Amino acid sequence: MIESILITGANAGLGRETARQFALKQETKRVILFCRNRERAAAAKKDLEEKAGKKVFEIAIGDVTDADSIRRSAEEIKEPLDAVVLNAGGVIGKTAANRTPSGMNQLAATNILGNVILVEELIKRDKVRKAVLAVSAEAIPGVKMLGVKRVSMRTSSVDEFAAVLDGSYFDKKFVALHAYAYVKYAETMWALSIARKYPKLKFIAVSPGNTKGTQAAESLPPPMRFMLNYVMMPIVFPLMGEMVHTLDVGAKRFVDAISDERYKSGVFYASKEGKLSGDMVDQSTFFTDLRKTSFQDNAYEAIHRFTH
């Protein structure tokens, strides 16, 4: 039973909807909205209280691209949590390739740095009791229709993962949507690695699927954004079956993965091969690199080159 949960990136989109769904559960007593902007967090809290009809929401502030900010935030969380959802991230815009003080590029820092530090600081303080969910992406096994190929690394060494995180892996051909798949792959492999380090906790990676109502398309080039928002999402995907769903369905994947014992620790769950919606399955059944513990541990080690 999950009574208390923290969700990063909770002021909008999937994070906010996940907070709403958990709040509607009778057993939920505490939902922490972990956000960067206090004003937006307060607005989200007010809206969620009205929609859920419950005052179970709290606010925590931290910048997931700033390691020191996240460590300070972790210190301020005094009561243990049953679960944490690492939702902060996404395909960011023109600054994606920019280097941050951590050494990671902006894309990697936004999706990985703060999420990893927050969870590991909370675990160190014995503040996580049951589950951690890392939000992953359908882009990892590939999305042919969007021109996103399956992640394919040459060696999956520590150095190669580190190159993904600092951006040097992509040379001068840094395309945010392409790089996003590799960054999410690194985060997912970290989650699968740390699952073995803490066997008493449930560590799981989950893709929300192809979800309407998020800001995912906003950072895409204008022609691709137009095609996705006005052609693919409303017309093409619905005709193809199990290719798109609404925001509440995407968030429900997270709620189910944490709450339902069918979903096991150390597994990346997303849509069936060739689909972007519908039932979730273990992605390692058709993308076997996910099973390789040495690759998982290499991703873990590479990420920790940037967290100190």
For residue range 229-254, what is the model confidence (pLDDT) as tens digits?
A: 655 666 656 655 567 789 999 999 99
Closest CA to 266 of 171, 179, 200: 200
Structure tokens at 179: 């790089």
Kindly list the distances between the CA atom of residue 195 and the CA atoms of 157, 190, 200, 211, in Å, as whole numbers in the listed order.
19, 8, 9, 27
Closest CA to 121 of 60, 53, 179: 60
Q: Please tell me the pTM assigned to this model.
A: 0.93
- Backbone φ and ψ for 219, nearest 5 degrees, come out as -95, 0
Please state, as a whole number, how many other Cβ atoms lie within 10 Å of the Cβ of residue 61: 15
Residue corresponding to tokens 């923290």 = 6
What is the residue type of 281? V
For residue range 262-299, what is the model confidence (pLDDT) as tens digits?
A: 999 999 999 999 888 899 999 999 999 999 999 999 99
User: Averaged over 39-49, what is the pLDDT?
Assistant: 97
- pLDDT value for 213: 59
Q: Which residue has the higher pLDDT, 200 or 145?
A: 200
Closest CA to 153 of 166, 170, 138: 170
DSSP 59-104: EEE--TT-HHHHHHHHHH--S-EEEEEE-------TTTTPBPTTSS
Domains of the chain and any CATH numbers? 4-304 (3.40.50.720)
Which of 47-56, 70-79, 156-165, 218-227 bottoms out in mean pLDDT, i.e. has the lowest?
218-227
For residue range 186-226, what is the model confidence (pLDDT) as tens digits?
A: 999 999 999 999 999 999 999 999 887 566 655 566 666 65
